[in-house]
Structure 1
Amino acid sequence: MSEHTAQMSRRDGRWILYVALMGGGVSQWPEHDFGPGNVPTPAERSRALTRLGFVLTGGAEWEWTEYPERPDDDTSPVRLLASVQVCSRDGGLS
């Protein structure tokens, strides 16, 4: 069973969830646009992943990382990135 990393971040005021797939360009990564608003709940994220053909791997939990918009500038706005391990719903490659 191949594992992939799903990530969610805010882009242009919208929360975007995507699955990073090796061997293809970023433009080929499956993604879901939650639109503007609050951070999507874990249940909303799970439903979006299911629609994209993925499920969380056993015991996987979302992890949040913050990073500066401008590296090496401690006054830079902070961005948030959520990550979790997923696999294809059917157990194969997606």
Structure 2
Amino acid sequence: MREYTAQLSNRGGRWRLFVALLGVPVSQWPEDGFGPGSAVPTVAERSRLLDSLGFVFTDGAEWEWTEYSERPDDDTSPVRLLASIRVCSREEGAP
């Protein structure tokens, strides 16, 4: 089973979910978003959106959150959150 990394990020007040595909141009990665709002989409909402993109969580996978600065060398820079989780294509299914 081939695994991929799905990532959730917020830019401009909108949460976006995409699946990183190695060797594929970023412009062709499966991606979709949630409506405007500051609330983090629930795990169920993320799961439904991933399913619509053709992916499912792998067994035992959990969301991992990372924070990073827009400008790494500037401690006054806005902090962004990025969540990631392991997924596989819906056709392959989780093991």
Smaller-chain TM-score bracket = over 0.9
Matching residue's letter, 2:43? P
Map of 1:35 onto structure 2:
35
Runs of 4+ in 1 over 3 A off after TM superposition: none
Residue 44 of structure 1: SS of its match in structure 2? helix
So what's the TM-score if we normalise by structure 1?
A: 0.93
Percent identity of the aligned residues? 74
Gaps of 5+ in 1: none
Separation in 2, partners of 1:25, 1:13 = 25
Matching residue's letter, 1:20? A
Gaps of 5+ in 2: none
The count of aligned residue pairs is 92
The structural deviation recorded for 1:45 is: 0.1
Separation in 1, partners of 2:16, 2:60 = 23
The structural deviation recorded for 1:76 is: 1.0
